[in-house]
Amino acid sequence: MHDLSPSGFSLPAPSRRTLLRGMGGAALLGAGIPLLSACGGSGSSADPKTVSLGSNSSDAVPKKAFAEIYAAFTKKSGIKVDVNTKDHNTFQEQINSYLQGTPDDVFTWFAGYRMQFFASKKLATPIDDVWQKIGGNFPEAMQKLSKGEDGKYYFVPLYTYPWAVFYRKSVFDQHGYKVPTTWDDFVALCKRMQKDGLVPIAFGDKDAWPAMGTFDQINFRTNGYDFHVELMAGKASWTDPKVRKVFDHWSEILPYHQEGAVGRTWQDAAQTLVAKKAGMYLLGTFVGQQFTDKADLDDLDFFAFPEIDPQFGQDTVEAPTDGFMLSKAPKNRAGAAKLLEYLGTPEAEQIYLKADSSVVAASTKADTSSYTALQKKSFEMISGAKSLTQFMDRDSRPDFTSTVMQPALQNFVRNPKNVDSILSSIERQKKTIFASS
């Protein structure tokens, strides 16, 4: 297939090698040459001036923001980025066969277990050489997030965003509400809001993942970060009294959630916050996308999910992180490394953030002066966190979360009294899923 590379034919093999030698360091060369010989005859026809990139950024705003980053990279390095954009959901559904076939050199993906899964299946190439150059740009929590189970780096994070409880300042001012920091304050606030004729907590779980966010928050506030990791890795039991305690807390605030959540999309739920019919909404910062009016958006604020057990306080922040990985046999290893290095710079992140203000930079070195108030607050929340989680379906096996957890949590939301049978059913199914492969 690579024979078809358009400009490849015009370049004789020797010149390509010298070019590579000039471009990459000794470490890169070591990785590059064996790959070339492994490809046999066709290897020499790969274009050293082009890096192909598979992207799931099909929405208009991120697509344009990424295109600007690649343009800046081409200007700087002379290497063209050949972007192959697929619809976001399609990309995710096909990632398996995509990575096993002839994937692009670099592809967009998520940090956490989902990255580690493909790394352990040898469908990604370690990029420790890249991290030697960009490591200093990232805080420790981000470095930890970018490593596979074997301790090697596989991921370059670009942006991240926290999950928190969102509210409208004007609504809080009007009723004289205070931001709750403890569980009891939170429950009391819910009660007051209900009395004031508001829906205390907006909620829409038709897409089945928003409830996972609520579970995560209550779980690591109740049981701490380490338990979250154990539970997501399939090690802790779902019938453990600790899990039961999470659902007890959830049951306590469930009556203050918006009615009929299983039939409502998160976008519709967000509209009730926009319309000031709901007092609070637990979601990622992307909720801001639903605030189309600038004045409404300026009125939006958030607070960290309240403390439940003082032992853990509010030190864990759920912050899903998106970035890039290197596929198993990139055609242009040296060029791809250059691109990844560039994507790991504060400069690349700033270009992205200029176009998409709903997220914040993964790097602590990025310039925050142009951040909106919400972005500044998100950034502080993430950089001040002791531990970062990704999200239930990014911290655990996606086959488990999508086929078992999503229906189970919807079931709980509809029928919280069934919690014991739901939990034993989860545990039973978990055992077989985690036992396979």
Nearest approach, Cβ of residue 181 and other proteins (Å): 28
The only residue of 244, 263, 370, 376 in contact with other proteins, by rule CB under 8 A: 263
Which residue, 132 or 418, is less far from other proteins as judged by CB?
418
- Interaction between residue 192 and other proteins (CB under 8 A): no
User: In terms of CB distance, is 227 or 412 closer to other proteins?
Assistant: 412
- Cβ distance to other proteins smaller for residue 278 or 340: 278
Residue 289 CA to residue 136 CA, distance in Å, equals 32
Min separation Cβ 126 and other proteins, Å: 18
Q: Which residues contact 223 (CB under 8 A, 6 or more apart)?
A: 242, 245, 246, 309, 312
CA 105 – CA 67 distance, rounded (Å): 17
- The binding track of 402-431 with respect to other proteins, each residue x by CB under 8 A or -, is xx--xxx-xx--x----------x--xx--
Q: How many CB atoms lie within 10 A of CB 36?
A: 18
Q: Which of the residues 386 through 405 are near other proteins (CB under 8 A)?
A: 397-399, 402-403
User: What CA–CA distance (Å, rounded) separates 352 from 64?
Assistant: 9
Closest among 221, 373, 209 to 283, alpha carbons compared: 209
Minimum CB distance to other proteins, residue 329 (Å): 14
Asked if residue 130 lies in contact with residue 245, where contact means CB atoms within 8 angstroms, the answer is: no
φ, ψ for residue 52, nearest 5 deg: -90, 150
Nearer to other proteins by C-beta: 294 or 417? Answer: 417
**Residue 237 interacts with other proteins (CB under 8 A): yes or no:** no
What are phi and psi for residue 237, nearest 5 degrees?
A: -95, 145
Binder of other proteins out of 58, 85, 92, 143 (CB under 8 A): 92
Give the Cβ contact number of residue 239 at 10 Å: 13
Q: How many residues bind other proteins (CB under 8 A)?
A: 39
Does residue 332 sit in helix, strand or coil?
coil
Which secondary structure element, helix H or strand E, spans residue 107, and what is its range? strand 106-110
Told to check if 121 binds other proteins by CB under 8 A, we report: yes
Helix 241-253 with 210-232: angle, nearest 10 deg = 160
Q: Which residues bind other proteins (CB under 8 A)?
A: 92-93, 95-97, 100, 114, 117, 121, 123, 199, 206, 208, 259-264, 268, 271, 397-399, 402-403, 406-408, 410-411, 414, 425, 428-429, 432-433, 436-437
